[in-house]
Chains A and B, each alone.
Chain A
Amino acid sequence: MRPADTILQQLQQTFGAAGFHQQNTVDGIATFWLPAEQVIPVISHLKTSTGLAYRMLYDLTALDERNRQIHNGVPRSSFTVVYHLFSYERNDFIRLKVPLDGDYPSLPSITGIFRNANWYEREVYDMFGIRFNGHPHLQRLLMPLTWSGHPLRKEHPARATEMGPFRLTDEKQDREQEALRFKPEEWGMQRKSDDADFMFLNIGPQHPGTHGVLRIILQLDGEDIVDAVPEIGFHHRGAEKMGERQSWHTYIPYTDRVDYLGGVMNNLAYLLAVEKLAGIEVPDRVKVIRVMLCEFFRIASHLVWFGTFAQDVGQLSPVFYMFTDREKIFDVIEAVCGGRMHPNWFRIGGVAQDLPNGWDVLVRNFVEHFPKQLKEYNNMVMRNSIFRARTRGIGIYTLDEAIEWGVTGAGLRACGFDWDFRKKRPYSGYEMFEFDIPTAIHGDCYDRSYVRVEEMRQSLRIIEQCLNNMPEGSYKADHPLTTPPLKKYTMQDIETLITHFLNVSWGPVMPPGEAMSCIEATKGANSYYLTSDGNTSSYRTRIRTPSFPHMQMVPYISKGYTVSDLLSILGSVDFVLADIDR
């Protein structure tokens, strides 16, 4: 019996068989349908039961099912709410789906079980209009409060041209500005305590310390943070909605811009899911090329973080040195991909081109150059006593808190937990490489920094192994659904020509089904959860980004610290606004 069947049996024994249904998916994640009224008992059982211990809410999202053509025997519904839970003990995902009927359905909130469900449920409400009963503050999250409609519903237009011309009248401007006014009472905050009036300080959306358009409203007692409310969505570009009108292939460049420091790493997360749907096995050379470029981008992203973090605590120079080295990485990237930050270079089933002649020299130069730089940065920043004073003991969270809030990546490893998806759930051939998982124990800003600095060393090791062991072979899988499509026999055979023509002009048609990838991106676990309805574009593209839960945790870990510490915390969390808002 498969483990999934055991779980189903256990659930049915505990909660009765009615409404439970198992679905087979190509990504092999145990998927169950359950009725809305069972959501709370089932999820709390999954979380607390010792044998299961699905202790992290990995993702929570929904689908508008009203345009679905192909059902494949799963329950029919107007909307489906999807929960992804993860168990570190079992190293296993579980997917729970709740079918909902009606135009604006509702279901119980699980904020009482998982703290990070708060923002996820707000996002689902914002995007679909699905209400969560019992949610403490069900308000729009990404869209402006004045928005009408819910963007990810199928009837909501996807392009500006479908919406009529935009006009900003004086009344509208006043209305929008009034909507941005922060009202502490709405968040259950007091304006004064027994002995002090609180100050509400608005940080952002334009602020040098927030690294992008992020707004945080602080409730201050003097300079001490009593509470904070992050307001996100200023960078929301509807990346998920775009997935529904772009073809499987033309969506790749959009992924580049989700975590815009991660470059091709985003391509990888997306393509792993697409390739699971298509059933493509990529050749070893593709895997190694992808790994090498991803690790380059990991170093590049960490360098940006390192430099800006030092700048946040007032050290002006490191950022320039680090950007210079990042430029050296971009030299390699440019030689290989032609692009820099957003190379858009991975393709379904492979990469865009083979490695250019002389790539190994460029890579070797970097591998030889970088270690001494890293050592110098370590001396300059990490060993600086003022830097230590600003980061040690600041923004602490424990391992349990990290799991509860859905923290992944360096933030999790800084709590002493050696969890790296590259090691524990290898993808794209990471099992072939030798590298360590750096950890630290205190879970404060300094330890998160320490872990990232060590990660750069490990990435360099992986790159070196790629350099020395680059397999020969094709840079693309031999599969009809790869893009650009195979051209080999097009001039001999009319059928191939037609298929090629269709696959180029419309794009490949992915078989119906759903698949989720999960990679260790630069900032934590990044996933694409794709649903195909047997069409040239995705039926629903869900992007689970690491920065989203990390940002959600910021108020929790910054309470009691000062405004200056908040900047250390924001810097050490290492978020990218586009990665939060998508």
Chain B
Amino acid sequence: MTVMQHIWIVLGVLFVLLNIAAGLIWVERRLLALWQDRLGPNRAGPLGIFIVLADTLKLFFKEDWIPPFADKWVFITAPAIVAGSVLLSFVIIPFAPGIVVADLNVGLLFFLAMSSLGVYSIVLGGWASNNKYALLGAMRGASQMIAYEVFMGLSLMGVVMITGSFNMGDIVDAQKNVWFCFTQPLGFIIFFIAGVAETHRLPFDIPEAESELIAGFHAEYSGMKFGMFFIGEYLGITLISAMTVTLFFGGWHGPAFLPPLAWFALKTILFLGLFILLRASLPRPRYDQLIEYGWKVLLPVVLANLMITGAIALWLKST
């Protein structure tokens, strides 16, 4: 691959991702409206698609206010961290054969490392805001992330054991015949749950919890700084969807009548829809219930999954 090609891939991925993050505003609002017997934004442009433009413009032109009681530099850094870390995670995802920004041999570890960095934005943002609601949100966010980080990593180890590699390309190749969602169903379910918790979306939107904490950790943010959290959240959903597809649903594999990139996009979109459907249907557990569910239910299950997978892998190797 030439340097130019590489630059094109980087720019292309960035362009598509940022547009997806913005476009999801519209998708989410229309889908939610559909499921909630309403119309949703349908005025500006065909099917209301220009709401994306309006929303983006609004975010850009809103007063970018830093509260006088906030810790200024940390307050500014926090939203950059979330957008940065999520965008960086995308570098390891193989969208189609040859379309990957960085084909790291520790790809999966890189993803886990980046998603762990994301929690800093919540904690720092909540802390720097110097607001009680933000602080409560940050505290909740921190404990939620710590809890769910653990099973997120563990749930993926089954896949790694079967493939024998952390490289994302190898993982996709290993699913040429059977997708890992069939051989690793528990791993898939737990990864997805942990993914929802990582992106703090409903039902796990506990750091924000609108009806309790108003907006939680980003209560004090406005303008584009809020916009960064916003983009970070939508990119996070896209990331988890893309990762689920890559790790458990064969990545770009699919019948030949569609190009690989289209298969990848299609599968990812399905999971994006699932995220929105979750938001439309489920209530929010209480913070301690969520943590308890993580440590007491998911952790044993994921460990059992790991041991069974390991045993089978060893057994297959020995025969």
**Chain A residues within CB distance 8 Å of chain B:** 199, 201-202, 207-209, 223, 310-317, 320-321, 324, 384, 386-387, 389-390, 562-565, 567
| Residue from the list A207, A321, A386, A389 in contact with B214, Cβ < 8 A | A207
B203 neighbours in A (Cβ, 8 Å) = 314, 386
Given contacts A313-B284, A317-B281, contact A563 B212 (CB under 8 A): yes
Distance in Å from the Cβ of B140 to the closest Cβ of chain A?
8
- Within the assembled complex, what's the spacing in Å between the Cα atoms of A223 and B137? 11
Distance in Å from the Cβ of A419 to the closest Cβ of chain B?
31
Given contacts A316-B36, A320-B36, A324-B37, contact A209 B211 (CB under 8 A): yes
User: Judging by beta carbons under 8 Å apart, are B287 and A316 in contact?
Assistant: no
User: Judging by beta carbons under 8 Å apart, are A316 and B212 in contact?
Assistant: no
- Name which of A312, A386, A389, A390 has the most chain B CB atoms within 10 A of its CB: A386
Given contacts A199-B132, A208-B214, A389-B286, contact A316 B205 (CB under 8 A): no
By beta carbon, the residue of chain B nearest A324 is B37
User: Judging by beta carbons under 8 Å apart, are A314 and B205 in contact?
Assistant: yes
Give residues 212-244 of B contacting A (CB, 8 Å). Answer: 212-214
B280 neighbours in A (Cβ, 8 Å) = 316-317
Q: Interface 1/0s, chain B 283-300, versus A by CB < 8 A?
A: 111111100000000000
B214 neighbours in A (Cβ, 8 Å) = 207-208
* B35 within 8 A of partner (CB): yes
Given contacts A209-B212, A321-B37, A386-B203, contact A314 B283 (CB under 8 A): yes
Q: Interface 1/0s, chain B 178-204, versus A by CB < 8 A?
A: 000000000000000000000000110
User: Judging by beta carbons under 8 Å apart, are B32 and A316 in contact?
Assistant: yes
A202 neighbours in B (Cβ, 8 Å) = 132
Distance in Å from the Cβ of B290 to the closest Cβ of chain A?
10
User: Judging by beta carbons under 8 Å apart, are A208 and B132 in contact?
Assistant: no
Given contacts A311-B211, A316-B280, A320-B37, contact A389 B136 (CB under 8 A): no
B38 neighbours in A (Cβ, 8 Å) = 320
User: Judging by beta carbons under 8 Å apart, are A316 and B279 in contact?
Assistant: yes
- Within the assembled complex, what's the spacing in Å between the Cα atoms of A202 and B132? 9
User: Judging by beta carbons under 8 Å apart, are A562 and B286 in contact?
Assistant: yes
- Name which of A202, A316, A563 has the most chain B CB atoms within 10 A of its CB: A316
B212 neighbours in A (Cβ, 8 Å) = 209, 563-564, 567
User: Judging by beta carbons under 8 Å apart, are B37 and A386 in contact?
Assistant: no
By beta carbon, the residue of chain B nearest A561 is B286
Distance in Å from the Cβ of B216 to the closest Cβ of chain A?
11
- Within the assembled complex, what's the spacing in Å between the Cα atoms of A207 and B283? 19
Distance in Å from the Cβ of A255 to the closest Cβ of chain B?
30
**Chain B contact residues: helix, strand, loop or mixed:** helix
A207 neighbours in B (Cβ, 8 Å) = 214
Can you pick out 20 interface pairs between chain A and chain B where the beta carbons lie within 8 Å of each other? A199-B132, A201-B136, A208-B214, A310-B283, A314-B202, A314-B203, A314-B209, A314-B284, A316-B36, A316-B279, A317-B36, A317-B280, A317-B281, A320-B37, A384-B283, A386-B285, A389-B289, A562-B286, A563-B213, A567-B211
- Within the assembled complex, what's the spacing in Å between the Cα atoms of A316 and B203? 10
By beta carbon, the residue of chain A nearest B284 is A314
By beta carbon, the residue of chain A nearest B279 is A316
Distance in Å from the Cβ of A305 to the closest Cβ of chain B?
14
User: Judging by beta carbons under 8 Å apart, are A315 and B285 in contact?
Assistant: no
- Within the assembled complex, what's the spacing in Å between the Cα atoms of A545 and B213? 29
Given contacts A311-B211, A316-B202, A320-B37, contact A387 B283 (CB under 8 A): yes
Distance in Å from the Cβ of A436 to the closest Cβ of chain B?
29
Name the 5 nearest CB pairs between A and B, nearest first: A314-B284, A315-B283, A320-B36, A209-B211, A314-B283
| Residue from the list B36, B132, B288 in contact with A562, Cβ < 8 A | B288
By beta carbon, the residue of chain B nearest A310 is B283
| Residue from the list A199, A208, A317, A387 in contact with B210, Cβ < 8 A | A208
Taking A310-B283, A386-B282, A567-B212 as given, write out 7 further A-B residue pairs in contact, using a Cβ cutoff of 8 Å, ordered by the A residue number. Answer: A202-B132, A223-B139, A314-B209, A316-B32, A317-B280, A320-B36, A321-B36
- Within the assembled complex, what's the spacing in Å between the Cα atoms of A223 and B203? 19
User: Judging by beta carbons under 8 Å apart, are A562 and B285 in contact?
Assistant: no
Distance in Å from the Cβ of B82 to the closest Cβ of chain A?
22
A321 neighbours in B (Cβ, 8 Å) = 36-37
User: Judging by beta carbons under 8 Å apart, are A565 and B211 in contact?
Assistant: no
Distance in Å from the Cβ of A413 to the closest Cβ of chain B?
24
Given contacts A207-B214, A316-B279, A563-B212, contact A389 B37 (CB under 8 A): no
A390 neighbours in B (Cβ, 8 Å) = 283-286, 289
A389 neighbours in B (Cβ, 8 Å) = 285-286, 289
User: Judging by beta carbons under 8 Å apart, are B287 and A562 in contact?
Assistant: yes
Distance in Å from the Cβ of A209 to the closest Cβ of chain B?
4
Distance in Å from the Cβ of A95 to the closest Cβ of chain B?
41
- Within the assembled complex, what's the spacing in Å between the Cα atoms of A207 and B211? 8
- Within the assembled complex, what's the spacing in Å between the Cα atoms of A303 and B104? 55
B210 neighbours in A (Cβ, 8 Å) = 208
Distance in Å from the Cβ of A212 to the closest Cβ of chain B?
14
Distance in Å from the Cβ of A215 to the closest Cβ of chain B?
14
| Residue from the list A310, A311, A564 in contact with B286, Cβ < 8 A | A564
Distance in Å from the Cβ of B267 to the closest Cβ of chain A?
26
- Within the assembled complex, what's the spacing in Å between the Cα atoms of A27 and B37? 49
Given contacts A386-B203, A564-B209, contact A315 B37 (CB under 8 A): no
Give residues 104-137 of B contacting A (CB, 8 Å). Answer: 132-133, 136
Q: Interface 1/0s, chain B 132-157, versus A by CB < 8 A?
A: 11001001000000000000000000
By beta carbon, the residue of chain A nearest B36 is A320
User: Judging by beta carbons under 8 Å apart, are B211 and A314 in contact?
Assistant: yes
